[in-house]
Amino acid sequence: MASSTQGQVITCKAAVAYEANKPLVVEDVQVAPPQAGEVRIKILSTALCHTDYYTWSGKDPEGLFPCILGHEAAGIVESVGEGVTDVQPGDHVIPCYQAECKNCKMCNSGKTNLCGKVRGATGVGVMMSDRKSRFSVNGKPIYHFMGTSTFSQYTVVHDVSVAKINPQAPLDKVCLLGCGVSTVLEQYGILQRLKQVQLLLFLGLAQLDLQLLRGQNQLVLLGLLALTLMPRSLMLLRTLESQSL
């Protein structure tokens, strides 16, 4: 369903950070329509994360001013640019500062979620298609922040930076999935993967039937497992393997 604002510049309220360490200024900003591969979202809930504070403080080497901070939010798609098929107007979504294009080297690696498709643009506060911002105040551009800029009633993000969610989900709560909750889950996922690596190493060692392990206590075993996490230790293991055969 097309919205009445589709294709139009929207004027709305946003909290603009004009300078580091200076109070944000809530004022009218102009939000340009989404270009190809972009999504304009009506932000209904946003949270404050320490990373917003960090950039605002001036300590972030990537921090650019003036900008619109905010990266932990939820909202409803207002309109989409050409070629966007994953979401449509009316969808409930969470903007994601970490994109997932499902097509780049990083996305295909299965080892990381650090998608590189739009990072070159989001890292310098612009959109990828034309290297420009969609925000302005009286014609003066305002930088995007983390590819999300959710301290605004409307924002524009890349389509690979949007996650569609269940419309029943309460936006004032699920907005936390945009950073805090997912960051904790990611740490848990890393731990899980580390456990899997350790299990594989254990099975590998068991297969080698190293005399060294026989009759030794668990500390020795754990020490070997820790050593195997380092490439140089793999050489050691190969040596041990050859000696045990």
Segment interacting with Zn ion, rule: CB under 5 A, options 2-10, 83-91, 111-119, 161-169: 111-119
- By CB under 5 A, residue 128 contacts Zn ion: no
Distance CA 134, CA 234 (A): 51
Q: What is the DSSP letter of 213?
A: G
Q: How many chain residues touch Zn ion (CB under 5 A)?
A: 8
The yes or no reply on residue 115 touching Zn ion (CB under 5 A) is yes
Interface of this chain with Zn ion, residues 182 to 221, rule: CB under 5 A: none
Residue 207 to residue 215: CA distance in whole angstroms: 16
104 counts as binding Zn ion under rule CB under 5 A: yes
96 near Zn ion (CB under 5 A): no
- Identify which of residues 110 and 215 has a Cβ nearer to Zn ion in the complex: 110
Angle CA 143–149–155, to nearest 5: 100
144 in Cβ contact with 122 (< 8 Å): yes
Binding of Zn ion by 176 (CB under 5 A): no
Contact predicate 55/149, CB 8 Å: no
The distance of closest approach from Cβ of residue 39 to Zn ion in the complex, given in angstroms and rounded to an integer, is 17
Confirm or reject binding of residue 179 to Zn ion (CB under 5 A): yes
Alpha carbons within 13 angstroms on the beta-carbon side of residue 240 total: 19
Short-list 7, 133, 120, CA closest to 68: 133
Is 49 a binder of Zn ion (CB under 5 A)? yes
CA distance 240 to 245: 9
**By CB under 5 A, residue 117 contacts Zn ion:** yes
Contact 134, 104 (CB under 8 A): no
Q: Which is nearer to Zn ion, 52 or 78 (CB)?
A: 52
Decide: is 74 part of the binding site for Zn ion (CB under 5 A): no
H-helix or E-strand containing 77?
strand 73-80
Contact range with Zn ion by CB under 5 A, out of 49-57, 164-172, 191-199, 230-238: 49-57
Shortest spacing between CB 147 and Zn ion, in angstroms: 13
The reply to whether 134 sits near Zn ion by the rule CB under 5 A is: no
**List of residues contacting Zn ion (CB under 5 A):** 49, 51, 101, 104, 107, 115, 117, 179
